[in-house]
Protein backbone atom coordinates (compact mmCIF):
# COMPACT_ATOMS: atom_id res chain seq x y z
CA UNK A 1 0.00 0.00 0.00
CA UNK A 2 2.81 2.38 0.95
CA UNK A 3 4.70 1.51 -2.23
CA UNK A 4 1.60 2.18 -4.26
CA UNK A 5 1.16 5.60 -2.65
CA UNK A 6 4.83 6.45 -3.29
CA UNK A 7 4.47 5.38 -6.91
CA UNK A 8 1.39 7.56 -7.33
CA UNK A 9 3.23 10.50 -5.77
CA UNK A 10 6.19 10.05 -8.12
CA UNK A 11 3.93 9.84 -11.15
CA UNK A 12 2.10 12.96 -10.03
CA UNK A 13 5.37 14.90 -9.57
CA UNK A 14 6.63 13.73 -12.97
CA UNK A 15 3.40 14.71 -14.68
CA UNK A 16 3.45 18.11 -12.97
CA UNK A 17 7.07 18.70 -14.00
CA UNK A 18 6.37 17.77 -17.62
CA UNK A 19 3.41 20.14 -17.65
CA UNK A 20 4.91 23.09 -15.85
CA UNK A 21 8.35 23.18 -17.56
CA UNK A 22 7.04 24.11 -21.04
CA UNK A 23 4.76 26.70 -19.45
CA UNK A 24 7.68 28.39 -17.68
CA UNK A 25 9.79 28.22 -20.86
CA UNK A 26 6.95 29.75 -22.86
CA UNK A 27 6.54 32.51 -20.27
CA UNK A 28 10.27 33.32 -20.51
CA UNK A 29 10.08 33.48 -24.30
CA UNK A 30 6.95 35.66 -24.31
CA UNK A 31 8.43 37.99 -21.71
CA UNK A 32 11.73 38.17 -23.60
CA UNK A 33 10.09 38.99 -26.94
CA UNK A 34 7.80 41.59 -25.37
CA UNK A 35 10.70 43.32 -23.62
CA UNK A 36 12.80 43.14 -26.80
CA UNK A 37 10.03 44.90 -28.76
CA UNK A 38 9.75 47.61 -26.11
CA UNK A 39 13.51 48.25 -26.05
CA UNK A 40 13.69 48.18 -29.85
CA UNK A 41 10.92 50.77 -30.09
CA UNK A 42 12.93 53.11 -27.83
CA UNK A 43 16.29 52.48 -29.54
CA UNK A 44 17.45 54.39 -32.62
CA UNK A 45 21.10 53.31 -32.52
CA UNK A 46 23.57 51.05 -30.72
CA UNK A 47 27.32 51.39 -30.37
CA UNK A 48 29.39 48.67 -28.68
CA UNK A 49 32.90 47.38 -28.21
CA UNK A 50 33.51 43.72 -29.04
CA UNK A 51 36.13 41.04 -28.57
CA UNK A 52 35.97 38.00 -30.86
CA UNK A 53 37.59 34.65 -30.08
CA UNK A 54 37.90 32.18 -32.93
CA UNK A 55 38.68 28.61 -31.86
CA UNK A 56 39.78 26.14 -34.53
CA UNK A 57 40.22 22.43 -33.97
CA UNK A 58 43.43 22.43 -36.05
CA UNK A 59 45.08 25.21 -33.99
CA UNK A 60 46.17 25.41 -30.37
CA UNK A 61 45.98 29.19 -30.09
CA UNK A 62 42.73 31.12 -30.03
CA UNK A 63 42.50 33.84 -32.69
CA UNK A 64 41.50 37.10 -31.00
CA UNK A 65 40.25 40.26 -32.66
CA UNK A 66 38.50 43.36 -31.36
CA UNK A 67 36.76 46.47 -32.56
CA UNK A 68 33.49 48.38 -32.62
CA UNK A 69 29.95 47.50 -33.65
CA UNK A 70 27.53 50.17 -34.88
CA UNK A 71 23.82 49.95 -35.64
CA UNK A 72 21.39 52.66 -36.66
CA UNK A 73 17.78 52.38 -37.73
CA UNK A 74 16.29 51.52 -40.07
CA UNK A 75 18.95 49.18 -41.49
CA UNK A 76 22.47 50.53 -41.06
CA UNK A 77 25.17 48.32 -39.56
CA UNK A 78 28.97 48.40 -39.38
CA UNK A 79 31.24 45.66 -38.04
CA UNK A 80 34.54 47.51 -37.57
CA UNK A 81 37.49 45.29 -36.61
CA UNK A 82 40.44 47.36 -35.38
CA UNK A 83 42.84 44.71 -34.08
CA UNK A 84 44.93 42.78 -35.01
CA UNK A 85 44.36 44.31 -38.46
CA UNK A 86 41.77 46.71 -39.87
CA UNK A 87 38.70 45.17 -41.45
CA UNK A 88 35.13 46.34 -41.74
CA UNK A 89 31.80 45.20 -43.08
CA UNK A 90 29.03 47.71 -43.73
CA UNK A 91 25.35 47.15 -44.44
CA UNK A 92 23.64 50.25 -45.80
CA UNK A 93 20.22 49.33 -47.12
CA UNK A 94 20.75 47.14 -50.18
CA UNK A 95 24.43 48.12 -50.38
CA UNK A 96 27.05 45.97 -48.66
CA UNK A 97 30.65 47.13 -48.43
CA UNK A 98 33.66 45.13 -47.27
CA UNK A 99 37.15 46.43 -46.54
CA UNK A 100 39.80 43.72 -46.20
CA UNK A 101 42.62 46.01 -45.08
CA UNK A 102 43.68 46.91 -48.60
CA UNK A 103 40.66 47.89 -50.64
CA UNK A 104 36.93 48.44 -50.41
CA UNK A 105 34.62 46.15 -52.31
CA UNK A 106 30.89 46.34 -52.91
CA UNK A 107 29.24 42.94 -52.48
CA UNK A 108 25.84 42.04 -53.94
CA UNK A 109 23.38 42.12 -51.03
CA UNK A 110 21.37 39.42 -52.78
CA UNK A 111 24.10 36.76 -52.48
CA UNK A 112 23.00 34.00 -50.05
CA UNK A 113 25.98 34.33 -47.67
CA UNK A 114 25.68 38.11 -47.38
CA UNK A 115 21.90 37.99 -47.14
CA UNK A 116 21.94 35.44 -44.28
CA UNK A 117 24.62 37.37 -42.38
CA UNK A 118 22.75 40.67 -42.76
CA UNK A 119 19.40 39.15 -41.76
CA UNK A 120 20.92 37.41 -38.75
CA UNK A 121 22.72 40.48 -37.37
CA UNK A 122 19.83 42.89 -37.91
CA UNK A 123 17.31 40.26 -36.76
CA UNK A 124 19.26 39.74 -33.55
CA UNK A 125 19.26 43.48 -32.85
CA UNK A 126 15.54 44.06 -33.49
CA UNK A 127 14.35 40.66 -32.17
CA UNK A 128 12.80 39.28 -35.36
CA UNK A 129 15.39 36.49 -35.52
CA UNK A 130 13.91 34.83 -32.43
CA UNK A 131 10.62 34.25 -34.22
CA UNK A 132 12.17 33.18 -37.50
CA UNK A 133 11.35 29.77 -38.96
CA UNK A 134 15.03 29.39 -39.86
CA UNK A 135 15.78 28.51 -36.22
CA UNK A 136 14.22 26.50 -33.43
CA UNK A 137 14.67 28.67 -30.34
CA UNK A 138 14.73 27.86 -26.63
CA UNK A 139 14.86 30.40 -23.78
CA UNK A 140 16.05 30.17 -20.20
CA UNK A 141 16.67 32.72 -17.48
CA UNK A 142 19.02 32.60 -14.50
CA UNK A 143 19.04 35.69 -12.28
CA UNK A 144 19.60 38.69 -14.57
CA UNK A 145 20.66 36.79 -17.69
CA UNK A 146 18.53 35.33 -20.46
CA UNK A 147 20.10 32.61 -22.61
CA UNK A 148 18.72 31.93 -26.07
CA UNK A 149 19.70 28.80 -28.01
CA UNK A 150 19.08 28.80 -31.76
CA UNK A 151 19.09 25.50 -33.64
CA UNK A 152 19.32 25.86 -37.45
CA UNK A 153 16.44 24.37 -39.41
CA UNK A 154 17.63 25.03 -42.96
CA UNK A 155 19.44 22.10 -44.51
CA UNK A 156 22.48 24.03 -45.74
CA UNK A 157 22.95 25.86 -42.45
CA UNK A 158 22.57 22.64 -40.45
CA UNK A 159 25.55 21.23 -42.34
CA UNK A 160 27.81 23.98 -40.98
CA UNK A 161 26.35 25.14 -37.67
CA UNK A 162 25.48 23.05 -34.63
CA UNK A 163 23.85 25.81 -32.60
CA UNK A 164 24.04 29.50 -31.71
CA UNK A 165 24.00 30.70 -28.12
CA UNK A 166 23.15 34.27 -27.13
CA UNK A 167 23.21 35.74 -23.63
CA UNK A 168 21.34 38.97 -22.84
CA UNK A 169 21.32 41.19 -19.78
CA UNK A 170 17.66 41.08 -18.75
CA UNK A 171 17.39 44.60 -17.32
CA UNK A 172 18.32 46.43 -20.55
CA UNK A 173 17.98 43.53 -23.00
CA UNK A 174 21.59 44.07 -24.05
CA UNK A 175 23.41 41.33 -25.95
CA UNK A 176 26.51 40.44 -23.95
CA UNK A 177 27.69 37.22 -25.57
CA UNK A 178 27.20 35.36 -28.84
CA UNK A 179 28.74 31.96 -29.56
CA UNK A 180 28.46 30.08 -32.84
CA UNK A 181 29.20 26.36 -32.50
CA UNK A 182 30.15 24.78 -35.81
CA UNK A 183 30.13 21.19 -36.94
CA UNK A 184 33.55 19.64 -36.34
CA UNK A 185 34.30 21.52 -33.11
CA UNK A 186 35.20 25.02 -34.34
CA UNK A 187 33.52 28.00 -32.67
CA UNK A 188 33.34 31.77 -32.71
CA UNK A 189 32.64 33.65 -29.47
CA UNK A 190 31.89 37.37 -29.46
CA UNK A 191 31.73 39.38 -26.25
CA UNK A 192 30.11 42.83 -26.25
CA UNK A 193 30.78 45.61 -23.74
CA UNK A 194 30.36 49.34 -23.12
CA UNK A 195 27.10 49.52 -25.10
CA UNK A 196 25.75 52.98 -25.85
CA UNK A 197 22.16 53.56 -26.95
CA UNK A 198 20.85 56.39 -29.14
CA UNK A 199 24.31 57.95 -29.38
CA UNK A 200 24.79 57.89 -33.18
CA UNK A 201 23.47 60.98 -34.96
CA UNK A 202 25.83 61.01 -37.96
CA UNK A 203 25.27 58.27 -40.53
CA UNK A 204 28.54 58.94 -42.37
CA UNK A 205 30.27 56.03 -40.61
CA UNK A 206 28.06 53.70 -42.66
CA UNK A 207 29.35 54.98 -46.00
Closest CA to 125 of 86, 91, 159: 91
pLDDT tens string 43-80: 999 999 999 999 998 898 999 999 999 999 988 999 99
So where are the chain's domains?
24-199
> What's the pLDDT tens digit per position in 87-139?
999 988 888 899 988 899 988 777 777 777 778 888 888 888 888 888 999 99
The model's confidence at residue 26, banded by pLDDT at 50, 70 and 90, is low
* CA–CA dist 120, 16 (Å, integer): 37
pLDDT digits (tens, 9 = 90+) for 132-175: 888 999 999 998 999 999 999 988 888 899 999 999 999 888 99
Do 88 and 76 form a contact (C-beta atoms < 8 A)? no
pLDDT value, residue 126? 80
User: What residues have CB less than 8 Å from 89, skipping those under 6 apart?
Assistant: 78, 79, 96, 97, 98, 99
What's the pLDDT at 88? 95
Nearest to 75 by CA among 173, 206, 178: 206
When pLDDT is averaged across residues 187-205 and rounded to a whole number, the result is: 94
**Domain 24-199, CATH:** 2.50.20.10
Amino acid sequence: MIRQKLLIQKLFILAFALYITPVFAQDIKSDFLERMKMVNAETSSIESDFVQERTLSIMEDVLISSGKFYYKKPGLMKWDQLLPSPYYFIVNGNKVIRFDGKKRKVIPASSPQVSHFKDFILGTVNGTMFESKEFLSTFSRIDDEVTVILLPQQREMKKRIEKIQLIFAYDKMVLMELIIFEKGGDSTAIYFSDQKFNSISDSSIFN
